[in-house]
Amino acid sequence: MAKYIYEHKNWTNFSWNDKAINVIFGEVRLMQGKIIGQMNALGFSAKEEATLTALTLDVVKSSEIEGELLNYDQVRSSIARRLGINTAGLVPSNRHIEGVVEMMLDATQRHTLPLTEKRLLGWHAALFPTGYSGPYKIEVGQYRTGEMQVVSGAMGKEKIHYEALKPELVKIEMDKFLEWYNTKDNLDLVLKAAIAHFWFIIIHPFDDGNGRIGRAITDMLLARAEGSGERFYSMSSQILIERKQYYEVLQNVQHSTGDITKWLEWFLNCLKNAMLATETTTQAILHKAEFWKRHKHTSINERQRLMLNKLFDGFEGKLQTSKWAKITKTSTDTALRDIKDLIEKGILQQTNEGGRSINYELADQ
């Protein structure tokens, strides 16, 4: 069995091939600047909307990587409330969602503060407010005191993907990690984000939740790199899409002797893809912002506003009177009046499909 990276002396003196990563690194830095420029041209409310969308996706997708599905609307509402963003249709969320959101916002909105052991333990406690992960009782708000293996497969046929370092070394290694994390050096912060992610995952300091905390640590450094708590792209969404490669490259580099070029290449490419995905969503946000600007003085009631925002945010399926009534909790008569009013204002139109039921769409799509 090949040695793990941490079994080598001075294993954290990571090295990499600059030539191999220079091109992609340059592209990433250029795109970051471009996205921030695009967003600054958006105007305040559209920028808020973009940040809200990116943060929501980050929380939802980071949990989904671990196989846990969170309710998108609850997460979005929780973030909006905490950031003081006024959006229609806020929904209450449970303790667990509040905890995940708390961690994410602490990392991104307070990115200038040092990362300390106390802060990390607080994040861990917020992630597991009941002291359980699923049906299992875990050690919460403290570093793990037991061995740690990452396994998959059915009972009796488990495959060990990774064996983390011994529990008695965790605190020593974490102290070293935190000192490096908080020391200002000449290392570019985007590269620092990539290294921090890998280093933290290798230590695997907690009983559970290491992936989510590792990604929050990454987001914190990316926020530092951009000098802003505004988030316009979601790295976790992209990691979810590339999950297979994510685990493959981690498994590969965990056996290296200190050269982490492959990991950095993958990380930078993933970050670039996350930003490319944002360009598409930015177009949608721009479109929505322009619409509301155009209709600043149009009289639109709260139900109509809610439904129009849903249409802009990618409404699932076809819009019909019955759906309108159900979502806005009104009668079909009221729903039809709302719709007809928007058709007269040139905002909605009937679709051209035949059939018994009538569907509606935005007139300027």
CATH number, residue 345: 1.10.10.10
- pLDDT value for 88: 66
- Give 41: exposed, middle or buried? Use CB within 10 Å, 0-12, 13-18, 19+: exposed
**Banded pLDDT at 87 (limits 50, 70, 90):** confident
Q: Which domain holds residue 305?
A: 297-362
Query: Which residue's structure tokens are 């079994």?
Result: 7
- Asked if 322 and 227 sit in the same domain, the reply is no
- Asked if 268 and 317 sit in the same domain, the reply is no
- Asked if 251 and 316 sit in the same domain, the reply is no
- Asked if 226 and 322 sit in the same domain, the reply is no
Per-chain mean pLDDT for the chain: 93
Quote the percentage of the chain above a pLDDT of 70.
Answer: 99
Task: Among 268, 288, 308, identify where a domain stops.
Answer: 288
- pLDDT value for 86: 80
Euclidean distance between CA atoms 281 and 39, whole angstroms: 11
At 212-241, the pLDDT tens digits run 999 999 999 999 999 999 999 999 999 999
- pLDDT value for 279: 79
- Asked if 165 and 279 sit in the same domain, the reply is yes
- Asked if 281 and 320 sit in the same domain, the reply is no
Range name among 31-40, 83-92, 109-118, 160-169 with the lowest pLDDT average: 83-92
**Banded pLDDT at 198 (limits 50, 70, 90):** very high
Say if residues 148 and 166 touch (Cβ distance below 8 Å). no
- Asked if 241 and 141 sit in the same domain, the reply is yes
Which one has a higher pLDDT value, 206 or 292? 206
For the stretch 79-105, what's the b/e string if a residue is b when 16 or more beta carbons lie within 10 angstroms of its beta carbon? bbbeeebeeeeeeebeebbbbbbbbbb
- Asked if 257 and 358 sit in the same domain, the reply is no
**Banded pLDDT at 289 (limits 50, 70, 90):** confident
Task: Among 231, 266, 288, identify where a domain stops.
Answer: 288
Say if residues 215 and 236 touch (Cβ distance below 8 Å). yes
Range name among 18-22, 43-47, 72-76, 168-172 with the lowest pLDDT average: 43-47
- Asked if 222 and 190 sit in the same domain, the reply is yes
One-character DSSP codes across 290-358 = HHHHHTTTS---HHHHHHHHHHHTT--S-B-HHHHHHHHT--HHHHHHHHHHHHHTTSEEE-S--SSS-
Question: Domain holding 25: CATH number?
Answer: 1.10.3290.10
Which of 65, 213, 200, 195 has its CA nearest to residue 128?
213
- Asked if 120 and 14 sit in the same domain, the reply is yes
Task: Among 263, 288, 313, identify where a domain stops.
Answer: 288
Say if residues 144 and 171 touch (Cβ distance below 8 Å). no
Residue 34: how many CB atoms within 10 A of its CB?
12
> How many independent structural domains does the chain possess?
2
- Asked if 218 and 307 sit in the same domain, the reply is no
**Banded pLDDT at 354 (limits 50, 70, 90):** low
- Asked if 36 and 170 sit in the same domain, the reply is yes
Q: What is the mean pLDDT of residues 110-133?
A: 97
Q: What is the mean pLDDT of residues 7-24?
A: 97
